[in-house]
């Protein structure tokens, strides 16, 4: 589905072992998000799903998320929202 007038756009780029995120609507903000190590002692983390930098999005807003990959196929997911999509190199 496509939203014609989203409040904001988030670009997610899959790399081997991490994701890069770009907020480019207002000011260009970029950051990388790496998976939390499995040997972490924090029991409140989701195994193989938690990251060191979390993406923040506004509530009750239309948001466009553009997902792509830099190298190989990746799977981008937000389990609590029931969202999962595949990122393919060269496609937005």
Q: How many domains does the chain have?
A: 1
**Res 85: pLDDT:** 92
pLDDT confidence of residue 67 = 94
Predicted confidence (pLDDT) per residue in 19-42, tens digit: 999 998 878 899 999 887 777 656
Say what the pLDDT of residue 35 is.
Answer: 82
Is residue 78 assigned to a domain? Answer: yes
pLDDT at 46: 66
Q: Are strands 74-78 and 83-87 parallel, antiparallel or unpaired?
A: antiparallel
Adjacent-strand bridge partners of 13: 20, 68
Q: What is the pLDDT of residue 1?
A: 61
* Total-model pTM: 0.80
Rounded Cα–Cα distance for residues 92 and 73 (Å): 12
Residue range of the domain that includes 24:
8-87
Six-digit token pair at 91? 């496609």
What are the structure tokens assigned to 39, written together? 């040997």
The CATH number covering residue 58 comes to 2.60.40.420
The answer to whether position 43 is within a domain reads yes
Going by the DSSP 8-state scheme, the letter that residue 17 receives in this structure is: T
In a domain, 2, yes or no: no
Instruction: State the Cα angle at 89 between 83 and 91, rounded to 5°.
Output: 70
Paired tokens of 61 = 């807003």
Residue 34 included in any domain: yes
Q: pLDDT tens, 49-88? A: 778 888 888 889 888 999 999 999 999 888 888 889 999 9
Asked whether residue 60 is domain-assigned, the answer is: yes
């Amino acid at each position: 589905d496509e939203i014609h007038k989203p409040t904001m756009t988030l670009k997610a780029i899959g790399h081997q072992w991490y994701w890069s995120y770009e907020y480019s609507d207002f000011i260009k903000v970029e950051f990388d998000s790496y998976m939390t190590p499995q040997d972490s002692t924090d029991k409140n983390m989701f195994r193989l799903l938690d990251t060191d930098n979390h993406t923040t999005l506004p509530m009750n807003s239309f948001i466009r998320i553009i997902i792509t990959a830099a190298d190989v196929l990746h799977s981008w997911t937000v389990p609590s929202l029931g969202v999962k999509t595949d990122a393919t190199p060269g496609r937005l």
